[in-house]
Structure 1
Amino acid sequence: MSFTFVKEIPSPEQICREYPLSPNSVRIKKERDAEIARVFTGESDKFLVIVGPCSADNEDSVCDYISRLVPVQEKVKDKVILIPRIYTNKPRTTGEGYKGIVHQPDPEKKPDLLQGLIAMRKMHIRAIEESGLTPADEMLYPSNWSYLSDILSYVAVGARSVENQEHRLTVSGCDVPVGMKNPTSGDLSVMLNSIIAAQGHHTFIYRHWEVKTDGNPLAHAILRGAVNKHGNAIPNYHYEELQLLLEKYQETNLVNPAAIVDANHANSDKRYQEQVRIAKEVLHSRRHSKDIHDLVKGLMIESYLESGCQKIGNGNHIYGKSITDPCLGWEESERLIYEIAESC
Structure 2
Amino acid sequence: MGMRLNEKLPLPAELKAEYPLLKEITEIKEKRDKEIRDIFTGASDKFIVLVGPCSADNEDAVCEYVNRLAKVNEKVSDRLMIIPRIYTNKPRTTGAGYKGMLHQPEPDQAPDLYAGIIAIRKMHIRAIKESGLTAADEMLYPENRSYLDDVLSYEAIGARSVENQQHRLTASGMDIPIGMKNPTSGDFSVMLNSVVAAQSSHTFIYRGMDVTTDGNDLAHVILRGGVDKYGTCNPNYHYEDLVRLLEMYQKMDLKNPAAVIDTNHSNSNKQFKEQIRIAMEIMHSRNYNPELKTLIKGLMIESYLEEGCQSIGNERVYGKSITDPCLGWEDTERLIFEIAEQC
Query: Is TM > 0.5 for Structure 1 vs Structure 2?
Result: yes
The residue number in structure 2 matching 1:230 is: 230
**Could you tell me how far 1:2 is from its partner in structure 2?**
1.1
Segments of 4+ moved more than 6 angstroms = none
One-letter code aligned to 1:337: I
1:19 and 2:26 aligned: no
**Could you tell me how far 1:199 is from its partner in structure 2?**
0.1
Please give the TM-score of this superposition, normalised by the length of structure 2: 1.00
One-letter code aligned to 1:231: G
**Could you tell me how far 1:178 is from its partner in structure 2?**
0.4
User: What are the residue-to-residue correspondences of 1:291-302 with 2, within 5 Å?
Assistant: 291-302=291-302
The residue number in structure 2 matching 1:335 is: 334
One-letter code aligned to 2:211: V
Which whole-Å deviations, capped at 9, do the CAs of 1:62-115 have from their partners, x for residues lacking one? 000000011100100110010000000000000000000000000010000010
The residue number in structure 2 matching 1:264 is: 264
Aligned-partner SS, 1:298? strand
1:61 and 2:58 aligned: no
Which whole-Å deviations, capped at 9, do the CAs of 1:208-266 have from their partners, x for residues lacking one? 00000000000000000000001110000000000000111111100100000000000
Separation (CA, whole Å) in 1 of partners of 2:210 and 2:246: 36
One-letter code aligned to 1:209: M
**Could you tell me how far 1:188 is from its partner in structure 2?**
0.4
One-letter code aligned to 1:242: L
Aligned-partner SS, 2:309? coil
Separation (CA, whole Å) in 2 of partners of 1:99 and 1:39: 32
* Unaligned stretches of 5+ residues in structure 2: none
Separation (CA, whole Å) in 1 of partners of 2:292 and 2:171: 25
What is the aligned length? Answer: 343
The residue number in structure 1 matching 2:72 is: 72
One-letter code aligned to 2:90: K
The residue number in structure 1 matching 2:86 is: 86
The residue number in structure 2 matching 1:160 is: 160
Aligned-partner SS, 1:271? coil
Separation (CA, whole Å) in 2 of partners of 1:21 and 1:86: 18
Separation (CA, whole Å) in 2 of partners of 1:84 and 1:228: 31
One-letter code aligned to 1:317: R
Separation (CA, whole Å) in 2 of partners of 1:129 and 1:30: 14
* Unaligned stretches of 5+ residues in structure 1: none
**Could you tell me how far 1:318 is from its partner in structure 2?**
0.3
Separation (CA, whole Å) in 1 of partners of 2:208 and 2:30: 28
**Could you tell me how far 1:341 is from its partner in structure 2?**
0.3
The residue number in structure 2 matching 1:179 is: 179
The residue number in structure 1 matching 2:322 is: 323
1:151 and 2:156 aligned: no
Separation (CA, whole Å) in 2 of partners of 1:185 and 1:70: 36
Separation (CA, whole Å) in 1 of partners of 2:31 and 2:225: 32
Task: Give me the CA root mean square deviation.
Answer: 0.5
**Could you tell me how far 1:316 is from its partner in structure 2?**
1.0
The residue number in structure 2 matching 1:241 is: 241
One-letter code aligned to 2:156: A
**Could you tell me how far 1:42 is from its partner in structure 2?**
0.5
Aligned-partner SS, 2:308? coil
Aligned-partner SS, 1:39? helix
Which whole-Å deviations, capped at 9, do the CAs of 1:95-137 have from their partners, x for residues lacking one? 0000000000000100000100000100000000000000000
Separation (CA, whole Å) in 1 of partners of 2:74 and 2:219: 27
Separation (CA, whole Å) in 1 of partners of 2:69 and 2:189: 36
Q: Percent identity?
A: 65
One-letter code aligned to 1:150: D
User: What are the residue-to-residue correspondences of 1:17-56 with 2, within 5 Å?
Assistant: 17-56=17-56
Separation (CA, whole Å) in 2 of partners of 1:186 and 1:21: 39
The residue number in structure 1 matching 2:4 is: 4
**Could you tell me how far 1:158 is from its partner in structure 2?**
0.1
One-letter code aligned to 1:320: G
Aligned-partner SS, 2:320? coil
